[in-house]
């Protein structure tokens, strides 16, 4: 897989996101700033209007000439000014024909949300309005100023302020983006790129890629680098082991083929020993035949296990009760009548099928039966007298088959290596492949095989099948009529 281009790389995305986030922060800062700028602008006009109105008090007859009024109002930027003193006296300046007021803004007790809304509404205006502004004088809050003014100069001042804010925001965002980009590129992007290149190289050539050298970092990147180095070493070791096992498997397959031919010949010759006139020969012949059968079973299961790999499933709609019944019949069909348990008794087994009628699943019938057969044969060979198969349905169409026997339980050695091939056998001379194959069958279906319990009273295994496997469910699972089917030797 090729590495992404520069425009689609993590570095480019990081740069764009940094610029966008800084601009977003500047927008959040701009919102209260423009409202505050408008309020400050109006307060400055109110302060200037206060000073202009005080000129009325300086005249002898409290009257200001029209020419002076116009000059004072032009200095303030207003059409009319009223100054209300604490003693309720009013000083007034006004042009001869003041314009009609389009909007009134009262700054007394104005809150931030209202001031913000008024600021953005002013920026959105497309016509020249005349506004009336009422508020306390910044020079002396005891005085109230009422002023009529044009809104356009204030809007133009706000636009100029916004332009300065925008230019400053762009400059800050670019500077911040470059600093963050350089810092994160050195701290994260380059190490991540190195990790990515290492992963790609290991995937392309797991065994020929030079060992990945982790840095001395102690943070998460350093942990990832060391884990990648360990993973590479583990993969290389596993690949070399697989090569050795493949060569060994080829040799075992050839030996196994020849051994089975030899054992077949030995089995044919051994059957004639049962007709011998010597009582001692007839007495030991069953044990000889059992030993040969176990050797043939070892060869067959070994070949089956090494040949299967990933089990291909042929899923069909299968009635579960007949499948369990047939598996019980098959479980002892391959056992010879003269096979004996560890206590010397002949193998006999009772198969109790408690799966209800009408329960249908979509599964590979042959493979699922194979798992049940392996569990049944293991139980019989371990000394069980009865095997009971029960079913539990789960929400979502899941299913659990419980296979319980009344055998003596699993020894500690078998529990420690329960599903390990060639290591988990519970009896002397056993192969240890039955449970390993059964688990592979369940996992191929998307489920699993697990040991529920194993005591002196018996052993219970759970065959867990995934949700959606049930096609049709019986009316009341667990309460349907059941039958106990004895299987003769």
- Do the bridges between strand 316-319 and strand 349-353 make them parallel or antiparallel, or are there none, so unpaired? unpaired
CA 258/CA 63 separation, integer angstroms = 132
Range of the domain at 237: 225-310
DSSP 214: -
Last residue of a domain, one of 310, 327, 354: 310
The predicted model gives 65-72 an average pLDDT of: 84
Shared-domain flag, residues 251 and 392? no
Residue owning tokens 């279906």 = 445
Shared-domain flag, residues 361 and 306? no
- pLDDT band (50, 70, 90) for residue 477: very low
Q: In percent, how much of the chain has pLDDT > 70?
A: 81
Would you say residue 482 has pLDDT above 50?
no
pLDDT of residue 55: 82
pLDDT of residue 336: 47
As a dihedral over the C-alpha atoms of residue 437, residue 442, residue 444, residue 447, rounded to 10 degrees, the angle is -150
* Greater model confidence, 38 or 472: 38
**Global pTM value:** 0.45
Shared-domain flag, residues 96 and 232? no
Q: Per the domain annotation, does 481 fall within a domain?
A: no
Would you say residue 266 has pLDDT above 80?
no
* Greater model confidence, 80 or 299: 80
Q: Per the domain annotation, does 183 fall within a domain?
A: no
Shared-domain flag, residues 148 and 243? no
Q: Per the domain annotation, does 243 fall within a domain?
A: yes
pLDDT of residue 143: 92
Shared-domain flag, residues 153 and 26? yes
Shared-domain flag, residues 150 and 254? no
pLDDT of residue 173: 76
The predicted model gives 429-455 an average pLDDT of: 82
* 23-31 long-range contacts, CB within 8 A, separation 24+: 23/169, 23/170, 23/173, 26/165, 26/168, 26/169, 26/172, 26/173, 27/169, 30/162, 30/165, 30/169, 31/116
- pLDDT band (50, 70, 90) for residue 258: confident
pLDDT of residue 437: 83
Shared-domain flag, residues 278 and 334? no
Shared-domain flag, residues 275 and 126? no
pLDDT of residue 1: 44
3-state secondary structure of 43: helix
pLDDT of residue 309: 52
Shared-domain flag, residues 295 and 321? no
Last residue of a domain, one of 310, 326, 354: 310
- Give, for 275, the enclosing helix (H) or strand (E): none
- pLDDT band (50, 70, 90) for residue 165: confident
CA 372/CA 138 separation, integer angstroms = 93
Number of domains in the chain: 3
Would you say residue 339 has pLDDT above 70?
no
Q: Per the domain annotation, does 212 fall within a domain?
A: no
Would you say residue 483 has pLDDT above 90?
no
The predicted model gives 120-142 an average pLDDT of: 91
How far is C-alpha 3 from the geometric centre of its chain's CA atoms? 24
Last residue of a domain, one of 253, 282, 310: 310
CA 335/CA 299 separation, integer angstroms = 16
- pLDDT band (50, 70, 90) for residue 486: very low
CA 240/CA 232 separation, integer angstroms = 12
Farthest CA pair distance, the chain: 159
Shared-domain flag, residues 247 and 346? no
In the chain the first and final C-alpha atoms are separated, in Å, by: 60
Tell me, what CATH number does 350's domain have? 3.30.565.10
Would you say residue 170 has pLDDT above 90?
no
- pLDDT band (50, 70, 90) for residue 242: confident
pLDDT of residue 216: 85
pLDDT of residue 432: 59
Q: Per the domain annotation, does 79 fall within a domain?
A: yes
- pLDDT band (50, 70, 90) for residue 378: confident
The predicted model gives 110-139 an average pLDDT of: 91
Shared-domain flag, residues 40 and 163? yes
Shared-domain flag, residues 299 and 360? no
pLDDT of residue 393: 81
């Amino acid at each position: 897989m090729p590495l992404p281009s520069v425009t689609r790389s993590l570095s480019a995305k990081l740069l764009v996101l940094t610029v966008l986030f800084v601009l977003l922060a500047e927008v959040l800062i701009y919102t209260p700033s423009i409202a505050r700028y408008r309020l400050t602008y109006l307060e400055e006009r109110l302060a200037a209007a206060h000073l202009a109105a005080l000129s009325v008090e300086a005249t002898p007859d409290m009257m200001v000439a029209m020419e002076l009024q116009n000059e004072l109002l032009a200095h303030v930027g207003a059409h009319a000014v009223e100054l209300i003193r604490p003693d309720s006296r009013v000083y007034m300046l006004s042009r001869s024909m003041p314009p009609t007021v389009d909007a009134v803004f009262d700054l007394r007790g104005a809150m931030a949300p209202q001031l913000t809304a008024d600021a953005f509404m002013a920026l959105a205006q497309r016509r020249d309005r005349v506004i009336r502004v009422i508020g306390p004088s910044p020079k002396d809050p005891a005085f109230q100023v009422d002023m009529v003014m044009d809104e356009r100069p204030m809007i133009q001042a706000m636009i100029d302020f916004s332009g300065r804010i925008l230019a400053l925001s762009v400059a800050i965002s670019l500077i911040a983006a470059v600093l963050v980009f350089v810092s994160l590129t050195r701290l994260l992007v380059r190490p991540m790129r190195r990790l990515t290149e290492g992963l790609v190289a290991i995937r392309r050539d797991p065994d020929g890629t030079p060992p990945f050298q982790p840095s001395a970092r102690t943070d998460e990147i350093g942990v990832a680098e060391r884990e990648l180095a360990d993973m590479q070493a583990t993969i290389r070791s596993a690949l070399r082991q697989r090569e050795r096992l493949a060569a060994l498997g080829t040799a075992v397959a050839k030996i196994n083929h020849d051994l089975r031919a030899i054992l077949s010949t030995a089995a044919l010759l051994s059957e004639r020993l049962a007709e011998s006139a010597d009582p001692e020969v007839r007495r030991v012949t069953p044990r000889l035949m059992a030993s040969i059968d176990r050797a043939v079973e070892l060869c067959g299961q070994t070949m089956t296990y090494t040949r299967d790999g990933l089990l291909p499933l042929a899923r069909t709609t299968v009635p579960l009760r007949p499948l369990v019944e047939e598996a019980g019949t098959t479980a002892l069909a391959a056992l010879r009548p003269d096979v004996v348990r560890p206590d010397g008794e002949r193998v006999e087994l009772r198969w109790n099928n408690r799966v209800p009628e009408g329960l249908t699943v979509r599964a590979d019938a042959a493979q699922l039966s194979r798992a049940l057969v392996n569990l049944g044969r293991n139980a019989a060979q371990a000394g069980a007298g009865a095997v009971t198969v029960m079913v539990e349905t789960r929400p979502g169409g899941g299913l659990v088959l419980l296979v319980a026997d009344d055998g003596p339980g699993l020894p500690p050695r078998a529990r420690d290596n329960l599903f390990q091939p060639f290591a988990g056998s519970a009896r002397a001379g056993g192969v240890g492949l039955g449970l390993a194959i059964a688990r592979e069958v369940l996992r191929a279906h998307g489920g699993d095989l697990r040991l529920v319990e194993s005591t002196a009273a018996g052993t219970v295994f759970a065959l867990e099948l995934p949700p959606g496997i049930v096609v049709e469910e019986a009316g009341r699972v667990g309460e349907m009529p059941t039958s106990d089917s004895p299987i003769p030797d």
